[in-house]
Amino acid sequence: MKLCLFFLFYLCISISTLRSAVLNPQPQQIKENGKTLVRPATFNVIGLENLPANVLRSLLRCVDDRTGRNGFPLRVGIRGDECVRKYKKMIPERSEGYYLAVSDREIVVAGNDHRGLYYGLRTLEQLLEEACENDSLSEVEITDWPDVAVRGVVEGFYGQPWSHEARMSIIDFCSDHKLNTYIYGPKNDRYHRARWRQPYPEAEARQLQSLVARAREKEVDFVWAVHPGDDIKWNEEDRDKLVAKLESMYQLGVRAFAVFFDDIGKGKNAAEQADLLNYINRNFIQAKGDVRPLIMCPSDYNRGRWNPETAYLETLGDKLDPDIHIMWTGERALSDITTDNLTWVQTIIKRKPYIWWNFPVTDYSNDRIMMGEVYGLDASIATDASAFVANPMEYAEASKLAIYSVANRTWNTRSYDSFTSWKNGIKYLLPDAYEAMACLCEHSSNTDVDHYRRRESEGIRNNARNFIDQYNQTGSWSQKDWTALSNEFSRMEESADELTVAESSPALLSEINPWVSALGLWAQMGQETLWLAEAVKQNDRNVFICKLKHLQVLKRCLEKLEKDKRPASIGTAVIQPFVRTVSQVAIRQFNQRNQTDYPAVF
């Protein structure tokens, strides 16, 4: 009997914990007792009169406007409010922290500050959304806060800038996942870079103003960045023009600014940059009184660019006002963020670095989409960095998969699991075709940068390597490897078909459509390559010619896809090398045996 009771208790706790795992980002502390209550139909909100307008709107969204005096008690407030006074000791004394409790008596959401309350309501909304499925709400106690104070994205890539609609969507996504920063700095925005002295035309200014308003509504700090380093003159006239441009953005509602000096041909003078930024900091940023600390991106923004002879970074560390943030990408432009690197750079720039992580950006090779796991970020980003922003792809919807995990990693560094977060992110973005989307992502996650390869096609990597090695040496292979590869190629083809007709996220599916098509084509080429090798092994001339012709047709289909839509590389780490290598060996062996001269397909 005791054993049965223990089993039931364990089962309840396991189910309860599983339910909490859907929260993103994962809270710092969760206590559950396995009990549930019927999801309230209406809510009696206590503390309504003290809420800021945007928090009130978040609350109403959370409860679907179902409020009334006879509803289930929902107590909301921030530290110091009378309505949550008895929960004061429960509220974490952390910026953006909150306390949330669901019991059979009431629900309470108490923030350490307004943003903490906003985030607490977002967590409650997730709990209520989960409860909709079975009309029951878990009794839970959550104490939560972010590990990294400043978390978000930097639209800092080269190539096609995001549309206004995409930016609005990204701001909403950041808010939903407790990211608090959006830096606007697309390299190909002329008024950010090439025409930085000129004000934005009226239509573009109105769009930026609406972005700023949306970000403020969603508790996201909108940072506008200017990139003057290509042609700035180090004189009073250009200095005043830069301040005037910042003032024009201030008038549009911007209250956070950055100045970029990355990737410039001229102006790489640390002393001049520091003098200019100190002037802006003292006479504009600090003088305004309602503007967040200034951010700068240096010309030497990673250790690979560091040169002790020029002492560029050392000069910034010595001369730049200590409250100005300095951005940093790590060992190189593309790199993991490690404790050793963070420790090293702090001694050089005399402050914690503001991390600009170049992932999932693909402007160095935009025929790819980075859809793999987010890993390679040491937990020390919580203690040794002042901020963390990820640089996404020009494909905003596809970038959300990585942003989802960045939100998880920067909020709660200790409980983060890259694989679980990746799976949950896929389910969140495309719930009606999760397995098919996962297949695409597994085979679309490698860079073309030798020093920064990412995991891709791991499920068949060993099978492909074994097959190639044995085939080269003996002309044969293990049936186990052949079957595993064949099954995966079938899965790829079926996944491409399913994604072609999926409906739950039209914007995402539109962006990734070329890669979906490429997935299906490479799947077929993989399958035909296996049969090509089998035909050579059996010395079956008719099957060989049939498979070879189909392989040639599929390659032409791929070329047409790249011409009509866009180049879409997929499976570059395992699948493409397998198809190329095995097909070449098979054709060469067939030619040798039959004294023919069929050319290689690849």
Residue 388 corresponds to which tokens in the numbers above? 């963390």
Q: What are phi and psi of 354, to 5 degrees?
A: -95, 105
C-alpha to C-alpha distance for 405 and 371, rounded to whole angstroms: 11
Closest Cα to residue 95, out of 126, 75, 124, 117? 117
Residue 116 corresponds to which tokens in the numbers above? 């903490």
Do 348 and 307 contact (CB within 8 A), yes or no?
no
DSSP class of residue 296?
E
C-alpha to C-alpha distance for 225 and 254, rounded to whole angstroms: 10
Residues 238, 263, 367, 540: which is the catalytic one? 263
Do 99 and 142 contact (CB within 8 A), yes or no?
yes
C-alpha to C-alpha distance for 330 and 355, rounded to whole angstroms: 8
C-alpha to C-alpha distance for 410 and 147, rounded to whole angstroms: 6
C-alpha to C-alpha distance for 67 and 168, rounded to whole angstroms: 29
C-alpha to C-alpha distance for 124 and 108, rounded to whole angstroms: 10
Cβ neighbours of residue 583 closer than 8 Å, sequence gap 6 or more: 529, 532, 551, 600, 601, 602
**Vertex 148: Cα angle to 144 and 152 (nearest 5):** 105
Residue 241 corresponds to which tokens in the numbers above? 């023009």
How distant is the alpha carbon of residue 394 from its chain centre? 12
DSSP string, 324-373: SEEEE--SSSS--B-HHHHHHHHHHHSS--EEEE--S--TTSTT----S-
The DSSP element (H or E) to which 401 belongs, if any, is: helix 396-411
C-alpha to C-alpha distance for 451 and 334, rounded to whole angstroms: 8
Count of CA atoms in the C-beta half-sphere (13 A) of 262:
23
C-alpha to C-alpha distance for 292 and 458, rounded to whole angstroms: 44
User: What are the Cα distances from residue 505, in Å, to 104, 426, 511?
Assistant: 37, 11, 10
Do 58 and 122 contact (CB within 8 A), yes or no?
yes
Please provide the distance, in angstroms rounded to a whole number, between the alpha carbons at the two ends of the chain. Answer: 68
Which residues in 124-194 belong to E strands, given as ranges? 136-144, 151-155, 181-184
Q: For residue 44, what are the β-bridge partners?
A: 73
The answer for 316, left when phi > 0, alpha when psi is -120 to 50, beta otherwise, is: alpha
Closest Cα to residue 145, out of 112, 102, 107, 101? 112
* 263 tagged catalytic: yes
Q: Provide the annotated active-site residues.
A: 263
